[in-house]
A and B are shown apart, each in its own frame.
Chain A
Amino acid sequence: MTDLIPPQPGDRAPAASALDARGEPVALETFWRDGPAVLVFLRHWG
């Protein structure tokens, strides 16, 4: 275990990016720019 601390309600969403369908990095904030978004982190593709 590590001491990572997830953001809590009221906190600003951390800046981060992930790879899109073309393998290009996309900023996650892109997804809530026009409205709220649900961001789901999955462990793996199993």
Chain B
Amino acid sequence: VFCRYHLTQLRRAHEKFEAIPARIVAVGQGTPADRDSFVEAHGPYPFPVLCDPDRDAFRAYGLARGSLYNVAMHPNVLAKATEAYLAGERQGRTVGDGMQLPGSFVVSSEGIVLFAHAGKQSSDFPSIDAVLAAL
């Protein structure tokens, strides 16, 4: 549910990124078919949504697997789940490694990392404002 909630937030803020201009690219687990059915159900999104079935890109960016506590039971996870549900988001089918943690990075046109946020829990995404401030 946190993935689709964050994608919804990015979609809403898309014009702010476009004004900079900065691109958004999302990478998820699973196969192209998994991605396609998700985008069909919840999209479209005004940015590319890629998939990484072997999680090679996740590993290249140092994104770890979490514990069951950090994925499903941490107070931050429960609070964010409540927030997402109240915003109308619902949990879908889990695809890929359920213990994989998320992450967000801002990269300059020179290929230098300007902002890095490796999620400590499954719900741990940076605020849109924090990402915008890095650009």
- Identify the A interface with B (CB < 8 A): 1-2, 4-23, 26, 28-29, 31-46
Contacts and interface: CB of A to CB of B under 8 A. Distances in A.
Contacts of A15: 60
B26 A6 contact: no
A46 B100 CA distance: 12
Nearest to A11: B113
Contacts of A7: 61-62, 105, 113, 116
Nearest to A6: B62
Interface string B56-77: 1111111111110000000000
Nearest to B103: A41
A37 B115 CA distance: 11
Chain B contact patch, size range: 35 or more
By DSSP majority rule, is chain A's interface helix, strand, loop, or mixed?
loop
Nearest to B92: A46
Contact of A32 (B38, B48, B95, B111): B111
Contacts of B2: 43
B25 A46 contact: no
B94 A8 contact: no
A4 B55 CA distance: 13
A36 B52 contact: no
Given A18-B50, A18-B51, A38-B22, A43 B113 contact: no
Contact of A36 (B4, B104, B109): B109
